Amino acid sequence: MDTKKVLLIPWLILIIAACSPAEPLSPVTPLPTPTHPPVATGTVTPSLASPTSTETPEVRLTPSPEITIPRTGMVYHVVTNGETTRDIAEQYHLSEDSVVYSNFEVLPQDLAPGMTLVIPPVDGFYYIIKDGDALPDLSHQIGVSLISILSWPENGLDQEIEDIEPGKIIFIPGGKNPHFDWSTPTPTAETAP
């Protein structure tokens, strides 16, 4: 017999002995079902009953805070008497520039009750594509990454897009309109006499 086989046999016996159970396994029995009631989360209001009482304490569940999903589209705001662009921006948690830049046909000094303003979803502005606008040049000029403009859901742009049809309105998230200058103080919307 080969000496390697002779040396291997005692090792195999040891391995088999180590792997086999010392005593026969008992059949698997199911775990007992717990008899105590399930634990509820929330605030427990203690009752005035004695500590030995078997009454279940009243459980009041606390509602979770509302989850707010950020907007990705514009909303409209009707200007009321006495409002300023700053007031409107604060109401929507935006910079005043974002409100003014998104309403390219309305100057702050022309603000009047009853006007409807476009309110962007986040800081940035709406831009109307002009003939000859190239999106890479526009993003460079404004200082906003091209991917931010292309991936903004409201714009509905293809990631491979090269030309955009003139007249299309797109949102520039985080951008400031370089073609818009409003250096006058923000007036208050007042009803005409």
85-103 pLDDT, tens digit each: 999 999 999 999 899 888 8
How many Å apart are CA 35 and CA 163, to the nearest integer? 70
Q: Residues 124, 174: contact at Cβ < 8 Å? A: yes
pTM: 0.55
Single-letter amino acid, residue 118:
V
Under the banding of pLDDT at 50, 70 and 90, the label for residue 81 is: very high
| ∠ CA 70-76-81, rounded to 5° | 120
Average predicted confidence (pLDDT) for the chain:
75
- Tokens for 52? 């030995």
Mean pLDDT calculated for residue range 166-175: 91
93 DSSP 8-state letter: T
Q: Residues 90, 130: contact at Cβ < 8 Å? A: no
pLDDT of residue 176: 79
Q: Provide the percentage of residues in the chain whose pLDDT is more than 70.
A: 56
Whether residue 165 is predicted with pLDDT greater than 90 in this model: the reply is: no
Q: Residues 138, 145: contact at Cβ < 8 Å? A: no
Identify the architecture of domain 75-173 in CATH.
Roll (3.10)
Task: Please give the residue that has the higher pLDDT: either 42 or 98.
Answer: 98
How many Å apart are CA 84 and CA 182, to the nearest integer? 14
**Kind and range of the H or E element at 45?**
strand 43-45
Domain range summary for the chain, segments of one domain joined by +:
75-173
Mean pLDDT calculated for residue range 20-25: 55
- Tokens for 164? 């955009």
